[in-house]
Structure 1
Amino acid sequence: MDAGLAAVLGAVAGAIGAVGGAWTTSRAQWKSARLAARAEHRRQRRDPRSQVYSEFLSVANQFTDAWVGVANMSAMTDEKRVEIRSAFLAFKNVGPAVALSGPEEVSVLAESIRNQAARLTEMSRALWAGHVVVKVEDAVVEPWILEIQSNFLNDLNEYASEVAKFTKVARATLDDDGSNL
């Protein structure tokens, strides 16, 4: 092989190496920039999410507090039923915000909590009606009243469990700053 051919082949090899190195470097920089952008996006979403989750938990706790003192149908008064209904209506304001803030796991839990609150709110109406029936008829307790009363504490405990699970998942979501992408 003569010196001219060797020089040309060396130049071509050097050019290929330079192009390959430049491509590898640019690819690594692109990936790094993409990861940094995603992490920054997650950080920017953290504060609004935190506020939405906090508002949702506040409403969920107000709903729980509305049930304080209602251990059975005899404690269900018309005033208590109205208080429970008002606490439930507050979910209408915060539910969509949680759904938009995401992620899906948090949104699904929030919807489940809202549905349980709706069921408990309807139960308050039935407990109140049962309370009225028992007061009027004194000794006669209808089977449907007994069934609602027996399910009441289980449903309330399930609601509290879902709120605790929401808190845990929301906290994990807020703690994820995108650095583990």
Structure 2
Amino acid sequence: MDAGLAAVLGALAGSVATIGAALATGWAQREGARIAARSEHRRERRGPRENIYKEFVASVTRMRLWSGIYSLDPDVIPDDMGEEETGEIFRVVNEIERKATDAALAGPKKVAQAARRVARIGYEMAAYASALPRFLTGNAERDRETRRRVQLQVNALAKQFEQSVDDFVLDAQAALDDDGSRR
């Protein structure tokens, strides 16, 4: 091989290696900066999210105190809720709805979906439970059957509510633990 050609090929190889190393270094720096920025963004959002999630769980806990027994046995569901109790339950349901919206806006998407599910199931459960007195008008077989179906529905919704709250808490924990280093 000619000495001139070897020198040119050597210089070309050195140039290609230098360019490759520069590109790899640039990519690594850019990726590192992106990870650091995402991590900092998540760290800044963690505090407000944590507070919003805590407020949501506090509201949901008030509902759980009322509904927890309903998830055990449909026969323990009272025949009639008083006006005061019904009003309080729907105040809590409305509060849960507002807090679910806050949690949904705080994100991420999985937490938003879990919060909306808790609110929806809580509302359905309260609506069914408050409808029970309508089926106490007499001893008609149809009213007893309908009432039993409603009791079973309230029981099923209470179980779903409990599970949806547990799912929300797990999703919220995962969101708060996410430091942004993974995609």
TM-score by length of 1: 0.82
Question: Aligned partners of 1:25, 1:150: CA distance in 2, in Å?
Answer: 64
| Paired position in structure 1 for 2:158 | 156
Structure-2 separation of matches of 1:89 and 1:79: 15
Q: Which residue is 2:51 aligned to?
A: 51
Structure 1 residue identity aligned to 2:98: N
Deviation at 1:7, TM superposition (A): 4.7
Aligned length in residues: 176
In the alignment, the residues of structure 2 paired with residue 73 and residue 164 of structure 1 have an alpha-carbon distance, to the nearest angstrom, of 25
Q: Does 1:114 align with 2:112?
A: no
CA RMSD of aligned residues (A): 2.4
1:165 aligns to what?
A: 167
In the superposition, the TM-score normalised over structure 2's length comes to: 0.81
Moved more, 41-50 or 70-79: 70-79
Q: Is 1:126 aligned with 2:128? A: no
Q: Is the 8 A contact 1:91 1:114 kept in 2?
A: yes
Q: Which structure 1 residue ranges, 5 or more long, are not aligned?
A: none
Displacement of 1:126: 0.6
1:3 to 1:154, Cα distance in 2 relative to 1, 3 A: closer
The one-letter code of the counterpart of 1:167 is: V
Q: Note if contact 2:128-2:153 (Cα within 8 Å) is conserved in structure 1.
A: no
- Aligned equivalent of 2:108: 103
Unpaired stretches in structure 2, ≥5 consecutive residues? 71-75
Deviation string 1:68-112 (CA, Å, 9 cap, x unpaired) is: 677323352222111111111102321221222222221111111
Q: 2:73 aligns to what? A: none
Contact 1:62/1:87 (CA < 8 Å) preserved in 2?
A: yes
Q: Is the 8 A contact 1:59 1:91 kept in 2?
A: yes
**1:35: which partner in 2?**
35
Q: Give identity over the alignment, percent.
A: 32
SS at match of 1:44: helix
1:8 to 1:66, Cα distance in 2 relative to 1, 3 A: same
